Amino acid sequence: MSDGYVWFEGIPFPVVDCTPEHLRAIREDFVFKDQDVLTVSFPKSGTNWLIEILCLIYSKGDPAWVQSVPIWERSPWVENTHGHEILKHQEGPRLITSHVPCHLFPKSVFKSKAKMIYLIRNPRDVLVSGYFFWIISKLAKRPESLEQYFEWFLQGHVAFGSWFDHVRGWMSMRGKENFLIVSYEELIQDTRSTVQKICRFLGKKLEPEELNSLLKNSSFQVMRENNMSNYTLLRGWLLEERGSLMRTGISGDWKNHFTVAQAEVFDKIFQEKMAGLPRELFPWE
């Protein structure tokens, strides 16, 4: 550990449950199975919301599982030693989560038929959500101000590195039939249709009442009260006493936090770094 991060191949990672040795080992040795379903995202993109939705798809809308097992055990993070331990012993189709950049990811996934869902969110909201999360968490370097975190984010000096590189890396997978891109914004705008799109990709069909139960149990209000999903189990250990994963649950909150100058700088860098990628990948732009 150094300076509030664990470093691997020039990328900063969180300091808890993650080591360079582990990252190196899973990259070479972790075996993805064709039936696995992988959620990949840059942190604070709505990852846990998507996990909740996937769990409820697999339980056919029955909330018993999401109400009784911590979210990080239902769809473990492969880069975490604890998550990896669960995955190693799990039989049958697995839900797996990761924030690892594409070029450092376990190699076996690229040869498997495992289904991958890449979740993307307006990076301005990712930045703001990240700032408010890292100041209440003990997982990685704690920023002293939003101004400071803004600089770190643009330099890629935050957990899992540069958002721009992360997105560019994983976007190289687009067009593959086992790779689906979902945005936080489309989930917010029309959750029902987006869940149906995910179900089609997974080859799953939910009855109308199962879908209604899924929508209710993965809503912001219900997840906020669910101790198995809202991270309050980590209070006093990895999170501050009042810490929670569930903050605003909206898109566009960055407008309440960026200065005009920051918004302009961000726009410019976004245009430069994302040049050449199709506009429709970024529905918020």
Q: Mapping DSSP to helix (H, G, I), strand (E, B) and coil, where does residue 142 land?
A: coil
In whole angstroms, the minimum distance from the beta carbon of 113 to ligand A3P comes to: 26
Nearer to ligand A3P among residue 41 and residue 112 (C-beta): 41
**Residues involved in catalysis:** 99
In contact, 36 and 94? CB cutoff 8 Å: yes
Nearer to ligand A3P, 97 or 112 (CB): 97
- Between strands 11-13 and 6-8, the pairing is antiparallel
Q: Pick the closer one to ligand A3P by CB: 32 or 132.
A: 132
Nearer to ligand A3P, 79 or 125 (CB): 125
Neighbours of 147 (CB within 10 A): 11
Tokens at residue 117, please? 């869902």
State the residues that interact with ligand A3P by CB under 6 A: 41, 43-49, 125, 129, 132, 218-220, 223, 245-249, 253
Contact call for residues 87 and 25 (beta carbons, < 8 A)? no
Give the nearest distance from C-beta 212 to ligand A3P in angstroms.
15
Taking the complex as a whole, the smallest distance from the CB of residue 275 to ligand A3P amounts, in Å, to: 26
What are the structure tokens assigned to 152, written together? Answer: 């770190």
Which tokens go with 249? 């649950």
Contact 172, 102 (CB under 8 A): yes
Smallest separation, CB 148 to ligand A3P (Å) = 18
